[in-house]
Structure 1
Amino acid sequence: MTKVFFSDLKTGRCSSVVEARLLRFWEAKNVKRGGELMWMDLLMVDVNSTMMQVTISAGRLPQFRDRLLAGAMFSLSGFDVSRCAQNFRLTDSSLMIRFSETTSFQLLTEPDSPLPEEAFRFRNQQELIGLANTNTQLPDIIGEILSVKSTVCDPPEEKNRVMVTLKLESDETVTSTMS
């Protein structure tokens, strides 16, 4: 099977293989029906740091639930690609993956390429205002980028680092280091 990246996906059935890291997952429940489980949402990132929303329906969940481990790397194939509902879009991609009856979801112990351990999504103020009153989840952290410093060197003798200083809503300042 051909290996592809999230950015290569088109709507329809995909038989190609994507290698990705599972960043997070959570249950989507119907509060109007007593908390009935509807599906499981996953957030995955590929080798190009492209994030993709993945959904496993409640009916298919018993087949995959015991394999869900945040931080683990997976090989994924035989899934459906569809458009995201604008109000429930979790990533910059307009597409999402849905597990189907042919989905293969295998733990990778040694991926072909190193997979990022985290991914970030930055939004400008206008995008945040556009989310107001839409019943969409807001970003985890809201802040203003005050400065960005980098220790990138060629050739890298050791890990390169980027430091971002954020001013949060509460007027606290935090510095995040990414390497």
Structure 2
Amino acid sequence: MSFVHIRDLQPFQFNKKIKVRVCRIWRPKLIGYDDQFGGLQCILVDQMADAIQATVKEIDYDLIGAKIKAGCIYEITHFHSGRSKTSHKVVPHAAHLFFNTRTVFTELSSVYPQIPRHRFYFLDYGQLCTRIDKNEILTDVLGHITAVQPLEEKMVGNGRKEDVRITLWGDTVRAFDFQALEELAPPIITVFTSLKVKQFQVYKCVGKTVLNSSVSTMIFIDPDIQELDTYKMTYDFLSSLC
């Protein structure tokens, strides 16, 4: 059986084989329950830099959760695909993968061409307003942290230095190591994933764009991505003008 690229996967397929890196893993809690989870979610990326989301049901978590970890590359077989959600999608793919106890994960030490460690779908600050209260797909942003407040992050959205407030809720903020930020030299370049775009303090149809975390939000500081170098160059250039 030959490998299938992520971009060629369609809903309602079986007997496919993929070669991917697990670039994100999280366990979303069920809304309204403090100690109940909704299985395991992960984002897979392949050599074409395309990404797709995969789900493990809670009943299969104990077995599957021990077989995969973020950052590793696997050959995966014996899974099926379905249609992706109509709202709160993490990646823009029409299909969604489902792993179960029959799914086989074979870890690979290396592959060529290399598979990127991350895959984000960034939205420029100027485009955030197009997603206000529109949650078909969640939003990834890249910026640098300018201030930390209790239960909140404040970051720069782009080179024009508009501040965008990001509010972190629940486990997202509890898992974030705020003290570690004190040991880092600025700029602290950070990726926030899977955010919901809202409007705050609306007056005469004008408000400030804000970002709220979702159950899928993860935070990456100085991730190994090409956009990071570009952002730092822009930051250094703008800083030299101040």
**Partner of residue 144, structure 1:** 158
For each residue in 1:146-179, what CA deviation from the matched residue of structure 2 results, as whole angstroms up to 9, or x when unmatched?
7xxxxxxxxxxxxxx7741379xxxx9379xxxx
Aligned-pair CA distance for 1:21: 0.5
Identity %: 17
Mapped to 1, the partners of 2:159 and 2:15 lie a distance apart of: 41
Q: Secondary structure at the match of 1:43?
A: strand
Report 1 or 2 for greater relative contact order, CA contacts < 8 Å, sequence distance ≥ 6.
1
**Partner of residue 88, structure 1:** 88
Mapped to 1, the partners of 2:122 and 2:100 lie a distance apart of: 31
Mapped to 2, the partners of 1:86 and 1:174 lie a distance apart of: 40
Counterpart residue type for residue 49 of structure 2: S
Q: Secondary structure at the match of 2:142?
A: coil
**Partner of residue 104, structure 2:** 104
How many residues of Structure 1 are paired with residues of Structure 2 in the alignment?
A: 157
**Partner of residue 39, structure 2:** 39
Is the 1:145–1:166 contact (alpha carbons within 8 Å) kept by the matching residues of 2?
no
The 5 Å alignment of 1:145-164 reads 163-164=229-230
Counterpart residue type for residue 235 of structure 2: T
Aligned-pair CA distance for 1:79: 1.3
**Partner of residue 231, structure 2:** 165
Counterpart residue type for residue 173 of structure 1: Y
Relative distance call for 1:59 and 1:140 in structure 2 (3 A) is farther
Relative distance call for 1:126 and 1:144 in structure 2 (3 A) is closer
| CA-atom RMSD in angstroms | 2.9
More deviation, 38-47/109-118: 109-118
Q: Which has the higher strand share?
A: 1
Q: What's the TM-score once normalised by structure 1's chain length?
A: 0.73
Mapped to 1, the partners of 2:131 and 2:39 lie a distance apart of: 23
Is the 2:27–2:41 contact (alpha carbons within 8 Å) kept by the matching residues of 1?
yes
For each residue in 1:133-156, what CA deviation from the matched residue of structure 2 results, as whole angstroms up to 9, or x when unmatched?
35675424352367xxxxxxxxxx
Aligned-pair CA distance for 1:68: 2.5
Counterpart residue type for residue 38 of structure 2: M
Is the 1:81–1:95 contact (alpha carbons within 8 Å) kept by the matching residues of 2?
yes
Query: Which ranges in structure 1 are unaligned for 5 or more consecutive residues?
Result: 147-160
**Partner of residue 67, structure 1:** 67
Mapped to 2, the partners of 1:78 and 1:124 lie a distance apart of: 38
Query: Which ranges in structure 2 are unaligned for 5 or more consecutive residues?
Result: 144-156, 161-225, 238-242
Relative distance call for 1:88 and 1:18 in structure 2 (3 A) is same
Q: Secondary structure at the match of 1:44?
A: strand
Aligned-pair CA distance for 1:43: 1.0
